[in-house]
């Protein structure tokens, strides 16, 4: 922390899989601070329903973590499906998020889960993963972990069969007041992720109508989600299909994202 305060312009190095790509793209930092040997940033825990994943956890470690497999197994499965074998062993959670590249998938996966980024050494302690593409929040210091609240989580699933055109990450949670809240995050290689949400008057997942909820979620996709690879009408249709597919799986209880 002292080094980052002494050199606020420094680039933080961890797994370096994305950093090497940035060097090839022209990045020439004057100061580089390596955090690779900070063991605390590799820890994963689940205490009182709060899943905490250190920012240096690699994709391979995250997909095999006993803590994640026991609390949100579908997250482990989704995490293990991204990137190449080489990158899964080098790339870290923190690097995947803070690179802020549209084609990276952890922002899509974690935004649907309502994950929070935890920081130390700056002016801000926490930010939601879904805020990654918001205007510059200022001095956030070092990303130490990502946390996920699991008690209200009923189901989680990730669809990447239509990547790079579109991916969809979807959760079903108990609403604090009443009903169930379905959150879908739509990603692609060409646009930032978009968060879509619908609260249904239901008490159980089996009461959700996959076709209706899928249409409601897809209709929220903003016009700027369209691009040269697909019009907004096509993208809404595609997102509707993927949401319906995930919800059909959820209502059929074919795969649980967390313990009920």
Kindly tell me if the per-residue pLDDT of 110 is higher than 50.
yes
CB 11: neighbour CB atoms within 10 A? Answer: 16
Question: How far apart are alpha carbons 160 and 153 in whole angstroms?
Answer: 21
pTM value is: 0.91
In this prediction, residues 18-22 reach a mean pLDDT of: 84
What would the pLDDT profile of 203-231 be if each residue is shown by its tens digit?
999 999 999 999 999 999 999 998 888 89
For residue 57, how many C-alpha atoms fall within 13 Å in the half-sphere facing its CB?
25
What's residue 258's pLDDT? 42
Among the listed ranges 100-104, 197-201, 224-228, which one has the minimum average pLDDT value? 224-228
In this prediction, residues 6-27 reach a mean pLDDT of: 83
What's residue 29's pLDDT? 82
What would the pLDDT profile of 32-75 be if each residue is shown by its tens digit?
888 888 899 999 999 999 999 999 999 999 999 999 999 999 99
Q: Which of 18, 171, 132, 155 is nearest to 83 (CA)?
A: 18
Question: Could you tell me what percentage of the chain is helix, strand and coil, using 3-state DSSP and rounding each to the nearest 5?
Answer: 35, 25, 40
Question: How far apart are alpha carbons 210 and 247 in whole angstroms?
Answer: 5
Q: Regarding beta strands 153-159 and 167-174, do their DSSP bridges make them parallel or antiparallel, or are they unpaired?
A: antiparallel
Kindly tell me if the per-residue pLDDT of 4 is higher than 80.
no
Q: Which of 106, 17, 3, 99 is nearest to 53 (CA)?
A: 106
What would the pLDDT profile of 161-176 be if each residue is shown by its tens digit?
999 999 999 999 999 8
């Amino acid at each position: 922390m002292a080094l980052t305060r002494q050199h606020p312009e420094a680039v933080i190095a961890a797994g370096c899989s994305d950093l090497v790509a940035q060097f090839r793209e022209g990045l020439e930092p004057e100061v580089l601070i390596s955090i690779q040997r900070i063991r605390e940033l590799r820890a994963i825990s689940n205490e009182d329903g709060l899943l905490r994943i250190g920012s240096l956890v690699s994709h391979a470690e995250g997909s095999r973590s006993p803590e994640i497999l026991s609390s949100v197994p579908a997250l482990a499965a989704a995490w293990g499906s991204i990137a190449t074998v080489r990158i899964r062993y080098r790339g870290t959670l923190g690097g995947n998020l803070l690179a802020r590249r549209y084609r990276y998938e952890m922002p899509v996966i974690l935004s649907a889960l309502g994950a929070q980024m935890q920081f130390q050494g700056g002016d801000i302690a926490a930010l939601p993963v879904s805020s990654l593409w918001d205007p510059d929040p200022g001095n956030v210091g070092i990303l130490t972990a990502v946390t996920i609240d699991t008690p209200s989580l009923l189901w989680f699933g990730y669809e990447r069969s239509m990547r790079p055109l579109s991916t969809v990450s979807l959760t079903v949670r108990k609403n604090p007041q009443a009903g169930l809240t379905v959150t879908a995050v739509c990603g692609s290689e060409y646009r930032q992720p978009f968060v879509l949400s619908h609260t249904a008057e239901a008490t159980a997942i089996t009461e959700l109508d996959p076709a209706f909820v899928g249409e409601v979620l897809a209709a929220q996709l903003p016009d700027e989600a369209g691009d040269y690879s697909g019009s907004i009408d096509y993208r809404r249709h595609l997102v509707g299909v993927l949401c319906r597919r995930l919800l059909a799986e959820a209502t059929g209880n074919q795969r649980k994202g967390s313990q009920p």
